[in-house]
Structure formats: structure tokens, C-alpha cells
Amino acid sequence: MKPLTNRLSAWLFVLPVAALLLASPAHAADIPTFSIGLDGADNPQDWFNGIKILAVLTVLALAPSILIMTTSFTRILVVFAFLRQAMGTQQTPPNQILVGLALFMTMFIMMPVWQKIDDTALTPYLNEQITQQVALERATAPLRDFMLKQTREDDLLLFLHAAKSEKPVNAEDTPLTVLIPSFVISELRTAFEIGFLIYIPFVVLDLVVASVLMSMGMMMLPPVMISLPLKLILFVLVDGWHLITASLLQSFAF
């Protein structure tokens, strides 16, 4: 499956390049181009606008990291990884499916936050009702509230002490440079707690299977050959995916 995917990806890359190389010179001029530059900038405002465009492009390049670090994506994906490892199914479900499911669950959980950002910051800014600075402040407020609800106070104090900053009077005044790493390690802690609870029934099943095989004198038979089908049927019978998803949604107080 992987060689086929690699070949398809290679063809998808080669075909457009070949089409461009084989294009006649008469049509080469019709190909649209896109460029960013500061040529002809005669005043500081033009330079400032160009730098702002570069800053926006930089933010877009860091968008995946921002998505991972400031949303529910981290907890969901780590829990799914623990679940797959506890079941012992190796690469089933594949990484693409787990990442895709985690991404859509993140969109579902974060939709109220993003909707509030759109209503209070993005739409007024596009309608030229507020300035860029006000829009940025309004956009970070809902995201800050979400992260504060999921962050432990001890983690916040850890980074506040490391930064040698005083504890803010209001939690809403916590700087993002302190809040984001605190939120991430809090998410990892919560994900590991859920992962531990997921591991318990599967470990018990492995112990039972190993004990039964040893008592029957079948010590040469790998216990995983018997426990893996039992894990799968147990997970299906208890509607495991429904339980895991419901637990994740409840963990965010959705």
C-alpha cells in the first residue's frame, strides 16, 4: 500500500511539472505569476505594509503548530495513540485516520470559540469597524478563555516563576507566552491520565490470557495471538469508540 501511495504522489508531482515544461513558448506568457517584493517603495508606510505581509505569511507557515498548541488537538491525538498501543493493533487504524478524526473532533470542539472570534473580531475588522489591534485583542480573548479553563494553576505558576513574573490579579491578564506552554503540559497530563484508564482493561485481559496459557502448559504460544482478538471483540461489544469519544468531549466540559 505504501509503495502505491508513493508512486501516486510522485506522479501527482511530475505531471504538472511536465505539463509546464512541455508548454509552448507562445502560451508561457499566459501563465500567471505571483511575487512579493518591496520594489518601488518610496515611503516608510510601503515598507511597513510589506513587512506586515511577510509577518502574515510567517503566521500561516506556523498555522499547524498554532493549531496543535492552542486547541484540543493534542489531547485527542495522544489519547488515540494510547488506545491503539493498548490494543496492540500496531498501525491499525492508520495514522492518517487518527489524525483526521482528531482534526475533525478539534473543529467540532473549537467551533464555539472560532464562531465567537468570527463574530467579535474577524467580521467587524473586515467591515472596517475596528482597527487591526482591536481585532487581534478580541480574537485572542475567546481562545485565552478556552485555554484557561483547561490549564492547571500549578502549570501556570511554574512558567510564571520561570519568567520571574508576578501572578496576575485576573486570570485573563495572563500573557500568552506563559499560557500556551502551561496549556500544553496540562493537556499532556490529562491525556496521560485518560491513557492510563484505557490501558487497565487491556492489561488485565493480557494477564488473564497469559495465566490461562501458562496453566495449560502452552508456554510456547504467544499470548498476543489469543489476547488480540479478545481485545478487539471486547472493544466492539462495549462500543469503545463511542465511549472514548464521549469521554473526550466531556473532558472539555463541552
Peptide bond into 93 cis (omega under 30): yes
Tell me the domain boundaries of the chain: 72-199+239-251
- Grid cell at residue 189: 497530563
For the CA atoms of the chain, what is the radius of gyration? 26
Helices (H), 151-175: 153-162
Range with top average pLDDT, 21-25, 46-50, 231-235: 231-235
- Please check the confidence at residue 4 and state whether its pLDDT lies above 60: no
Distance CA 241, CA 89 (A): 15
Query: Helix, strand, or coil here: 164?
Result: coil
Distance CA 253, CA 248 (A): 9
Taking the model in full, what pTM does it have? 0.72
Q: What percent of the chain has pLDDT over 70?
A: 75
pLDDT at 51: 66
Average pLDDT, the chain: 77
Q: How confident is the model at residue 42 (pLDDT cuts 50, 70, 90)?
A: low
Distance CA 254, CA 245 (A): 12
Q: Specify the range with the lowest mean pLDDT, choosing from 19-33, 39-53, 67-81, 162-176.
A: 19-33
Bigger pLDDT: 144 vs 36 = 144
The sign of the dihedral angle between the CA atoms of 122, 124, 129, 130 is negative
- Please check the confidence at residue 248 and state whether its pLDDT lies above 60: yes
